[in-house]
Structure formats: C-alpha cells, structure tokens
Structure 1
C-alpha cells in the first residue's frame, strides 16, 4: 500500500499538470480570438457634421478681417474666388483703397467724443472728425475727395457748391479771401494773406461742410449707370433729409464677372468716417455685390440702383 507521502506527491504532480493544461488552453483561446476594433465615439449634437461645417465656414469668414491690417486693402481681404480690381497709380481709387485705419476694434466717435452706440461698421478711418457737428454724410464724401486732391496739390480742382448755388473755390480761399454769408447770400471778402497750409485747408472744409449737403452734391456730381461703378463713386440721395455713401474698394470674380465693393460713410451727428457692414452678410464679410437688385440696403439707409454719382474732372 502506498505511503501517505507518496500519495501527497502524486496529488501535487496531478494538480501541477492540470494547472498547466488550463493555462495552455486559455492562451490558445486568446490567440484564436479576433482583436476588437475600437469603436468611434458618436458625434454629439454640438459636433454634428452640419455644426462642424458651420464652424469651418465661420472660421473662413473671420479670415476676411485681418486685425493687424493698417489700411483698407490690408485689413479687409477679398472672398475666395475674387481679386481686387486694378487701379491707376496715384488715382483717387488708389488713395481710397489705401486709407489708413484706426486699430481693429476702435469705436466710432462723435465730434463731441461720445461713442456711436450701434456697431454698423467693421473699421474706422484714421481721420479727424473735428470738434463741431459738421462732418456728416455728404461732408465725409467731400472730405475724402478733397484730401486726395490736396495731397496731390490739385488745388484748382477743390471746389464745391453751397446749397444756394454759391461756388466755394479753395484756390481763392488760399489767396486770403473768406466767405461772408448773410441770409441766403454768400460772397467773398479779402481777409488774409496767401496760405496753402493744411490748417487753412481744414478751415475751408469746415466752411463748406456748414453750407453744402447731399442736395448740392447731387447737383454738381454726374449720375452714372450702376454697371459702370468704380471706386470713388457715390450712392447718393440728394434731399432733406438725404444720405450718401462712397465706394472705397472693389473686387471682381474673373470667372463670373461679378463685382463686389466696400462702402464708407459718416452720419448724423458728425462722426468718424467708417467702413460699413453689409447687413445681408455675417459681420465679418462687409462686401456688397453689384447684383443687389433694385434696392441697396445699408445698415442705416437704402438706395435705389439709379442713385449712383461720380465727381467730374
């Protein structure tokens, strides 16, 4: 009869053999098992395909505004597929396109220092507004055109009509003559010596701003068809009240031929000249299409397609 010690040895050996057999079986089972493929997490509603697409489009639209740009052409990019139109060197169009801008995020200020309450603009032109309630809508157009002519010393082309028809020539103002207004009558008087300084020029403009407006501007500018629109042209309703905005840049799609443009304005009361948003687009796309239909809708005024004017030579 086997002793107790032998029985225990045989039992231990059996247990060891059994454990090895089980381990091998488990290992073989793991080898035969197909690896699991990690499941992709489901898209939550906020990360849906449509949502991601909108985020992508929004990112692109935001790229139209270059916050570091210091001029209109640098700050506001053209949409994909468009190219800025070519303009002659030292032209009014080139002058407008390269107008300096205040830092991105600057608020429009009234002549008295208060902020314009509504954000209808994407950029503010870096040009003083003065300290009197003078530089309003028509005055802003006059200011930009005059600044271009003064910069290029084309003094004889700086002249504007008062609402009563009186013609105010800067060249005569430079010679020391000043304008006397009595009721509805205006006339020149000799009051100073020759002066072509910028300070003298600004005083002349303030005089024009006080007695010119959209009505007088519409009577001395040339009406043009919308199809001929260029940088420097003006959408203008000459009445009381009236309003006007000026085209400060343009681009075109070379494939479709579609033209788009940027608009600038001042308003009432006198305020910084600013680049308008397009209410039909998101805030980051201020471009207007020339194919706007019968009515051009801007944030603070509407114009018809036959209210387009241009300064003459």
Structure 2
C-alpha cells in the first residue's frame, strides 16, 4: 500500500528588524497578500485566528503565524517551503535579523535554500527517524529580542491506536469533538483555539494566548501515524512547568517514538532552566547543541 503521509513537517522562522514606519508586519502580510505568497509553496489558508499580538493561520499543509516583527511557517513534507522566502522578505521591506529552518529529518540542503550568504548547518540524532536538522543564518542576531524565548518542537510517531482513531471522521465527526476527546484543549486551557478536521481523517490546531502560540497536526493512519506539537513564547518558570506541558502533549497521543527539540534564543549563562526533562514512561537520550552565530542553544531528546 502506498503511503499517503507526505513526511514530517518543515519549519521556517524569519525575524525582521524593528519597523521604521507606521506599518507593522501584520498590516503588510494580510490574508489576501499571504494567499498569493503561499501559492508557490503549494498550500492554502483554511482558517484565521487573529488576536492582539499575532495572526494564526491554519493551512492545508500545517500553519503560519505572523507577528509584528517575525513569521513562523510550518508545512508538510511535499510542500516547497523556501519558495515563499523572497516574496515574504520583499513585502516585509525590512532587514532580516535571522532565519532558522528546522526539520525532524536529515536532508541535504545548501546555502541557496535560504538565499543567504553564510549558513550554519547542524544535525542532531543518530539515525534517520530520530535526526533533527537545523539550518540557520543570523546576519543581525544582535538586534533580536534579548528576552529569552523558548520554542518547543515535539514530533511523535507510532501513535497509540485508540488515541489516533479519535482523529478519524468516523469516530469524531468534527474538529471540536477531536479536540475534546483527545485532551488537546487541556494542554493550554486558557488559550484560544482554531481547529480543522480533514476528511476522512486528520486534524490541525492553532492556539493563541497573548504573545504565545501553539500548534498541533495529526496524521492518524496506522501505517504511518504521526503527530506534531509546537509551542513558542510561553514563559516556563522552571523545568517542571515545561515538563508538564510536554507530558500533556504526549498524553494526547501516547507515541511509541518521539523527538523533542527545545530551543532557547539565548546562550546558557547560568541560572535559567536547563531543560532536564524526564517524561514518565519514556527513556530519553539528550544532546545539546549551541548555534554559534545566533548565540542560541538547542536541547534535543530522542526516544
């Protein structure tokens, strides 16, 4: 049987310099403008959750978040995520402070993918299913936010069959029922959610809570079951509060295998949480990688 799974998601983050005009990035990157920009990527907008600090778009192939000074785009395996970069930068009409690309899969890429001159490349993990690829450039990283921001990316495979079946139309006919039955709404109970159910199966969710966002995407078919969870912008006071969120996400799917990448935009200088996580029921291996040009650090766990 041929696989309908297009592969694990790709994530592209572009941080721009502060605006020198009255227009912020969200005013420039409107829904109509983004509709055109996303065409070469081969995905379309399904829903929009617009809040005070972020516009959260559910796409036919994952998610897009537009803040006043940066953009996060996630797309599934067959999409051409880099095809939108030049147009995003042109419309933003601002200097690029940093570009970061991640994917839970090792792949051969080169500098032309980012359209920038000096790219830092790193691969974490020991085999194809458990590798994490980071491609980055930080031409003006010193101008980025000096307050710590944690980004958590969790990729889960071989989902529990009972949990995965929740995301099938015959079991849960609406995205709201999928959200409730799976426990996804309990991960960040105060967040506002935008959800979408695919036919005959599959699910996507974006959430916004102030300046913080999270997103989930699910492919439930048994032969290639996969779910991804990401959150960014939440302030975790310690490792325990971070581990609680990871545990809630894992409980929604009970995967047999997962990779977890936690990235801080600041270098380790002492006193901050060290991301020493130990999820119940799992034996994890941990690696730490410093992105020298950007001054950030990645904690990477594999099961």
TM-score by structure 1 length? 0.23
Give 1 or 2: higher helix fraction: 1
Structure index of larger Rg: 1
TM-score by structure 2 length? 0.23
